[in-house]
Structure 1
Amino acid sequence: MPKPITLLVEGESDRAAVVALAPRFGVDLDAEQITVTVIGGAGNFGRAIAEAAVQGHRVGGLYDEKEERFVAGALNRQEGEDLTRQGFFACRPDLELELVRAIGAAEMTPLLEASGELKTFRNFQDQPSYRDSEPIDQLRRYIAANGARKAKFATLMGEAVAFESVPEPLEGLLNWIWSA
């Protein structure tokens, strides 16, 4: 019987994206004994990796590129090393931008509209500090401005992104599950 797997993610939005995408990759999290665990920030990777390993789990995860030092340190690797062989995948620079880029600014409009957030987003776009930003950056900032919104849109974007456009770190993590 294969080892249980623990996928470590920094926050609830990361968890929501992985859970939304897993079935699209043929991964039944419950049937495969896979837990997606929110660790509450990158500084907790060391403790979380150790705890899962002690339980006999294979451990992988997602992290934002600026937090690589925590993951590398927890894995006894150097910053800048390829951590994908250990099952850890960097979002560049973060999951929100990875997903927004994969879907595209124009294709985000129906998601905003369906979720009742298009008017609020348009007001956000019109604020002086965001008015001159690129639409992709506006979307990233809007989605990331609120924790509940991040999780909601991570699920919506995970369900909506074209399969061939799934961001590399999410695709890598979900494919890594099958690698052992």
Structure 2
Amino acid sequence: MIRATWVLLEGASDVAAVRALRAGRGVAPADEPCELIDMGGATNVRRYLGLAAEQRALPRVIGLCDEREAHYFARGVAAHSVALGIDVEVTVEELPRLGFQICRRDLEDELMRALGVDGTLAVLDEVELRTTFEGFTRQLVWRGRPVRDQLRRFVGTTSGRKELLAGAMAAALADESIPAPLAGLLASMERLSDVSV
């Protein structure tokens, strides 16, 4: 019997990025053996870990977080470590070894660094947001700022844009360019999908 695997993700943009990366490896959303859970924010991680610990058939639990939110994950995992079968002291530094990967700054920053400015702009072309972005850069407050800073701000200014662009940026990555936290999460998902109880 294969145990369920829960992948705890901070929000919809994280789910979109992981789905896109899995699709790039031939796993369609309908065939995804892991449950991608949008927690609606990192502060909810303790609640979801508690739900996992209450399951009759205990799922394997892994996840992804931003570095500024990692302390929430560490505290949540520590609070439920016995129920989850974790027998090490849980610290932020220990999280990746426990299956909880940490994005430097945040997911979008990881994706933009991997793609570079030109690659990120190419994604904006692909999703037909380049003209909108150029209009955004002409706003007085953003005029003359570094393009990377403009891109970071642009990604989060409109509802739904962050999710759309996270998925599109992830889909645009070559396999060898996938940032380490995402590569680590994908490796855990692949390994746990094939592990029996």
Q: TM-score, normalised by structure 1?
A: 0.91
| Residue in structure 1 matched with residue 36 of structure 2 by the alignment | 36
| Residue in structure 1 matched with residue 66 of structure 2 by the alignment | 64
| Residue in structure 2 matched with residue 102 of structure 1 by the alignment | 114
1:79 positional shift: 4.5
Partners of 1:42 and 1:115 in 2: how far apart? 28
| 1:109 aligned partner, one-letter code | L
Deviation beyond 3 Å, 4+ runs, structure 1: 25-32, 77-80
| Residue in structure 2 matched with residue 23 of structure 1 by the alignment | 23
| Residue in structure 1 matched with residue 177 of structure 2 by the alignment | 165
Partners of 2:135 and 2:116 in 1: how far apart? 20
In the TM superposition, what whole-angstrom CA distance separates every residue of 1:46-75 from its partner, at most 9, and x where no partner exists?
110121233211011111110111000011
The question of whether the paired residues in 2 share the 8 Å contact of 1:4 and 1:32 is answered with no
Within 5 Å, which residues of 2 pair with 1:86-97?
A: 86-97=98-109
Unaligned residue ranges in structure 1 (runs of 5+): none
Identity of aligned residues (%): 39
- Aligned residue for 2:160, secondary structure, equals helix
| Residue in structure 2 matched with residue 151 of structure 1 by the alignment | 163
Q: TM-score, normalised by structure 2?
A: 0.83
- Aligned residue for 1:40, secondary structure, equals coil
Higher Cα radius of gyration:
2
1:129 positional shift: 2.3
Q: CA RMSD in A?
A: 1.8
Partners of 2:106 and 2:190 in 1: how far apart? 24
Partners of 2:50 and 2:27 in 1: how far apart? 24
1:23 positional shift: 2.9
Partners of 1:89 and 1:147 in 2: how far apart? 26
1:109 positional shift: 2.3
| Residue in structure 1 matched with residue 52 of structure 2 by the alignment | 52
Instruction: Provide the aligned length of Structure 1 versus Structure 2.
Output: 180
- Aligned residue for 1:104, secondary structure, equals helix
| Residue in structure 1 matched with residue 151 of structure 2 by the alignment | 139
1:38 positional shift: 0.5
Inter-CA distance 30–54: structure 2 relative to 1 (3 Å threshold): farther
Partners of 1:23 and 1:114 in 2: how far apart? 18
